[in-house]
Amino acid sequence: MISFLTIIIGIVLALISTLCFNMAIIFQKKGLIEGPEIVFDEGVNGIVKAFKKFFRNKWWMAGAVLGVFGWFPYIFSIGSVGIIITEPVMGIGIVVFVFAAVILLKEQVTWFEYMALGLLAISPVLIALARIKKVNIDFNQLIFPLSLFLLIVVSGSVLCFIIAKIKKDTSLEALFIMFTGSTLFATGGVFTNILAQALIQAEVKITWYILFEIGFGILWGDFYHTWVFIGFWGMATFNLSSFVFYQSGLQKGKALVMYPILDSFALVIPIIAGLFVFQQTFENYILFFIATGMIFVGILILSRFQAEIEKMDKNE
């Protein structure tokens, strides 16, 4: 059984992380509006050229730095309470867009939206009361469920990208690009969970060579360091590849549609992985699913504020 204090700390770390990540998205969206369009027709060279220009954009870089900063509480949260707790709590970060729209654009919040904010405020309490019981991964039993999971999500991502190419220059292009990026992004979170738990079980200490140990853990020759290696490179591969796609989706599509897709995938896929791949368990499943349902409803109701922030960027 995970202690209640550990659960609270894990949730607080996730809230700090989602604050950083969502502020980063606001900054990067402004940078995307000012920067070149990300296109896939020119291959890797075209993507690299676009991102070279983004690196010179102060708004985009500020978002990138904030996103990197948010990664630290994120991985500590996952290490403490697992992906099945951390990722649903991350969905509460949409509140950042609400405050930004109210402060910067003087947007009015309706009573219905106040109810949605109330749902988001209550949900972490319910998640804590659900009392997660198992966080540690049994790596000996992980290979088959993880392989099946990856087969499904990677196939789905490839299919969505193919459809996006077929629907180029139509309203569906951005939609399927975001489907691709959101799936890859959520899968990056799954590998972050593997990395966090493998670091604990491999008993990796903070040393001057820790980055080398994480990136090349397979050279240590033991079972858990091999999973550190798999977790790190899986996390890096899926997060970096998703970055190109969801940034392109945000650039091509409307925030009112794009952000809920990104948020929903980031909520649903980790829950599926947590339950069926990592077999994480709760003392009270009913409270957990009520809380995640409240978060999902809150995201859908408040998504208009994300769209308002996009309008602000375009009008400046």
Q: Provide the residue-wise pLDDT of the chain in tens; the chain has 316 residues.
A: 688 899 999 999 999 998 898 888 777 766 666 666 666 666 666 666 666 766 777 777 888 888 889 988 998 999 999 999 999 998 888 888 888 778 877 778 888 889 999 999 999 999 999 999 888 899 999 999 999 999 999 999 999 999 998 988 887 888 899 999 999 999 999 999 999 999 999 998 888 888 899 999 899 989 999 999 999 999 999 988 888 887 777 777 776 677 778 888 888 999 999 999 999 989 999 999 999 999 989 988 887 787 676 665 555 4
For the chain, give the longest Cα–Cα distance. Answer: 58
Q: Which residues pair with 132 in a beta bridge?
A: 282
pLDDT at 33: 62
Which pLDDT does position 199 carry in this prediction? 93
List the beta bridge partners of residue 282. Answer: 132
> Does this model's pTM top 0.75?
yes
Contacts of 93 (CB under 8 A, 6+ apart): 15, 18, 19, 21, 22
| Assigned token pair, 8 | 């609270």
- pLDDT at residue 39 in the model: 61
Q: Where are the chain's structural domains?
A: 4-315
* Nearest partner of 211 among 228, 194, 227, 223, judged by Cα: 228
Reduced to 3 states (helix: H, G, I; strand: E, B; else coil), residue 282 is strand
Q: Return the structure tokens found at 154.
A: 């990677």
Q: In this structure, what DSSP letter does residue 202 have?
A: T
d(CA 180, CA 283): 34
Token pair in block for residue 181: 């990026």
Kindly give the interhelix angle for 83-90 and 171-201, rounded to the nearest 10 degrees.
140
Q: Compute the distance between CA of residue 39 and CA of residue 205 in angstroms, rounded to an integer.
A: 42
Give dist(CA 256, CA 244) in Å, integer: 20
For helices 4-34 and 285-315, the axis angle rounded to 10 degrees is: 20
DSSP states of 151-196 as a string?
HHHHHHHHHHHHHHHHTTTSHHHHHHHHHHHHHHHHHHHHHHHHHH
- Whole-angstrom distance, CA of residue 120 vs CA of residue 270: 18
Nearest 5 degrees, angle CA 26-CA 242-CA 305? 25
DSSP 276: I
Compute the chain's Rg from CA coordinates: 19
List Cβ neighbours of 309 (8 Å cut-off, separation of 6 or more): 26, 29, 97, 100, 101, 104, 105, 255
- Distance, first Cα to last Cα, the chain: 52
